[in-house]
Structure 1
């Protein structure tokens, strides 16, 4: 059984949607993560990411091959595809995004209503490869509409509160994933450091090589584009 990726991160390859949303920008669905820091390593193409955070306000960041950009929980972000944008995505707390950590920036009245939110966020077949992408575009356009309302009305604090309440039923399961993933990885390093300080390097004799020959799925419909996913069991 392979261990988790280093530091219990998640990794995927993303081809960003290239159709225009209602405001004319081509790209992905604006959303926020409640417990995960996310990083983008740009591998091809060009684009931008629009961000809104409590500390930095609204910003736009240029993306080109070689750029790495990362942001902490609470940063609303939206990818814009200007020319064949491809990104390797690294995500802290592996498993949490797939377990519902992300919240779309739908209009606030929808985020406050779990049933309406679930209906608006759902994709046929969960977005499995081959799913009609038009449902993902409709979801994106609704989130873009909500993002513009949020920017115009200055309701970031209300959005945060609604997002936390929306996801409250999942907190216990998230804690379990974190304990088995990121926390366990950090504690293992602590045990190794303490052991080596006592001249015990026995963990080195448990070394091995792990890998994957390719993604488990290709072209799954994600929040921002088509995902090639590399899940690693906890």
Structure 2
């Protein structure tokens, strides 16, 4: 098992000065580990809106359906750990655009997709549109938005199944082997590294320093 454990991904995020774009994940649990600076995470779920302060050493996580947005009070940097690696990049994240946009896959795609050039301006534009929808959701609640989000991602589900099936076996398979007295998986013991990749990307909440944990480098002795 050379890939990162549990089908998770790891990304360093330098949060935008103006804060992130509110969105939810339909399948993935996400964790913020604060490594620098100060800020907050705004969240909305059926229990209501809240704002949780963030400072170095804090860890906050949220399950699928929690609408969230990082707020930067100064130099906020996060280590983001996400379950179901590969799904967020394949449409699992749904931004809180107004309902008429989310209900139309073509309009949603046009609003969500960043162009090859002028990405900084495009990030601001989609954040402004998502904040418009977020303000309405804070007033009306997220339940109707959940239905729209589920309908939007439904065409991707079979593709997602293939991504999940390609992930390494979990600890349950290892426990089954050990219960049978089979320790052969220990013969594959090795150490791997996944350096931060290339030029930082443009994420929903900040500039991304992604680590490709699906293709790690073996460390020699």
Superposed CA offset, 1:11-56 (max 9, x none): 10000000xxxxxxx30000000000000000000001110112x3
Superposition deviation, residue 131 in structure 1: 5.3
The partner residue of 2:190 within 208, 211, 228 is: 208
SS of alignment partner, residue 172 of structure 2: helix
Equivalent residue, structure 1, for 2:32: 40
Question: TM-score by structure 2 length?
Answer: 0.92
How many pairs does the alignment contain?
A: 215
* Cα distance change of structure 1 residues 206 and 35 upon mapping to structure 2, 3 Å threshold: same
Equivalent residue, structure 2, for 1:145: 132
How far apart in 1 are the matches of 2:174 and 2:151?
39
Give the RMSD, CA atoms, in angstroms: 1.5
| Unpaired segments ≥5 residues, structure 2 | 216-221
Equivalent residue, structure 1, for 2:158: 172
Equivalent residue, structure 2, for 1:135: 122
CA contact (8 A) 1:131 1:221 kept: no
Equivalent residue, structure 2, for 1:12: 11
Question: TM-score by structure 1 length?
Answer: 0.87
Asked whether 1:185 is paired with 2:169, we answer: yes
Superposition deviation, residue 230 in structure 1: 1.1
Poorly superposed stretches of 4+, deviation over 6 Å: none
SS of alignment partner, residue 124 of structure 1: coil
CA contact (8 A) 2:34 2:78 kept: yes
Superposition deviation, residue 200 in structure 1: 2.3
Equivalent residue, structure 2, for 1:113: 104
Superposed CA offset, 1:41-97 (max 9, x none): 00000001110112x311110000000000000000011101110000000011111
